[in-house]
Amino acid sequence: MDLKYIKQLIRLVERSEINELELDDSGTRIKIVKSQSIPAHPVVANPVHQVVAAQIQTPATPAAEKASKKEETNLYEVISPMVGTFYRAPSPGAPPFVEVGDRVVVGQTLCILEAMKLMNELENEVNGRIVEICVENAQPVEFGHRLFLIAPEGK
């Protein structure tokens, strides 16, 4: 992520009604939080430094939670990589990409996540069978929100 992109995200959060935005891009995790109280860390003139400080202080727990859940149930969790709106089908009235019980393969589209007017297809990462669809159509989701549970099949 470049500095210009991070500054745009900060302005987006400042101007919107959302209070928190969290992104994970190729292992770089950024969390922007609107704060109305005095921050615990020193105030820095450049807001980008505040975002970086928040990133360092925030532990990366969704991955750890995902791993422990996966071990407990032997199910693969498909987690939202962004904040957006979850859509099960490519357009209103079209059949959903997947249903409970469907067999899925790596690279198959599972859903669409709309973020800032961009439609992002979420592709499957494991071969298996859909056990649960954890989100209703057109429901807002946050980063780290569980979308699907998949029972993996042998390689």
- The predicted-structure confidence for 8-26, as pLDDT tens digits, reads as follows 777 777 777 787 888 877 7
Q: In what order do the strands lie in the sheet with 103-104?
A: 76-79, 146-152, 128-133, 103-104
82 by DSSP, 3-state: which?
A: coil
pLDDT, mean of residues 69-83: 78
Per-residue pLDDT, 146: 96
Q: Where in the chain is the domain with CATH 2.40.50.100?
A: 62-152
CATH of 62-152, one of 2.40.50.100, 3.30.56.10, 1.10.490.10, 3.40.50.10490: 2.40.50.100
145 and 65 in contact (C-beta within 8 Å)?
A: no
Burial pattern 26-60, b for ≥16 Cβ within 10 A else e, equals: eeebbebeeeeeeeeeeeeeebeebbeebbeeeee
pLDDT given at position 8: 78
pLDDT digits (tens, 9 = 90+) for 85-138: 999 999 999 999 999 999 999 999 999 999 988 999 999 999 999 999 999 999
Between 66 and 132, name the one with better pLDDT: 132
The rounded Cα 80 to chain-centroid distance in angstroms is: 3
